Amino acid sequence: MKRRTWPRRLLTTIMFLSLLGAAGFGWLALFVAHMEDTVPSPTVNDISTVGTLYGYKGTPYYYDCIIVLGAQVKSIGIPSEALYRRMSLALEYFNAKRAVIIVTGGQGDDEPMAEGDFMYEWMRDNDVPTEFLAVDNTSRNTRENIANARYLMEERDLSRALVVTSDYHLPRALAVCREQGIDAIGAGSLSALDMWWKNHIRETLSWIKYRLGF
């Protein structure tokens, strides 16, 4: 009696394709991570309150506004680690060179308030004058973050943005800026090392969606 081997062959094929797909996705995640190193960014030391070479219009690191992209506000009303790091970095740049801070982010189902509103209050409580603050509290994703920030830039006749977000998110955020016609440079806040794979897997999926037009 001939032994039926096709189930085993099918299982072997499925396992091979699964391993091939996982390897391909892993390579893509590493490529996404490598993109962070290709983004030219000013350091806070490049900027000063009196204006350095980088502080003047027309020079490489000039900006007249700081766009801070939102991250989770925890249910107990405190910022997630990612959000705290983004806000803290934006505040450092503001203290080095005053510019309008545009905080942007809507309210998720598990959040007690909109991310934009939370950041507005945090910045105000950390001595940023309200005349330097603009808020978007409706956006639901990066494309909407940038689109709403662009509208606020146009309202105030601002021309160049410093985009502040997490390091792994910065290349895609700047790609969206280019897509929407915003002249921008970026600064990425360091993300927690123990979250490296989770952040980059999620960001890789987001890049796939972005390239597919979603």
According to the model, what pLDDT value does residue 49 have?
46
Sign of the Cα pseudo-torsion (173, 177, 178, 183, in order): negative
What pLDDT sits at residue 70?
Answer: 96
Residue 209: predicted pLDDT: 76
**pTM assigned to the model:** 0.79
Q: Are 68 and 119 in contact (CB under 8 A)?
A: yes
Question: Interior CA angle at 69 toward 88 and 25, to 5°?
Answer: 110
Q: Give the residue among 164, 102, 169 at the shortest CA–CA distance from 139.
A: 102
Which pLDDT score is estimated for 45?
67
pLDDT, residue 208, reads: 72
pLDDT of residue 50: 45
Domains of the chain, earliest start first:
34-211 (3.40.50.620)
CB 187 within 8 A of CB 42: yes
Q: Which residues of the chain have pLDDT under 50?
A: 1, 16-17, 20-21, 23, 27, 49-50
CA-CA distance, 85 to 79, in Å (whole number)?
9
According to the model, what pLDDT value does residue 213 have? 66
Measured at the alpha carbon of residue 96, what is the angle toward residues 94 and 101, in degrees to the nearest 5?
10
Tell the burial category of 120 from Cβ atoms under 10 Å away from its Cβ (0-12, 13-18, 19+).
buried
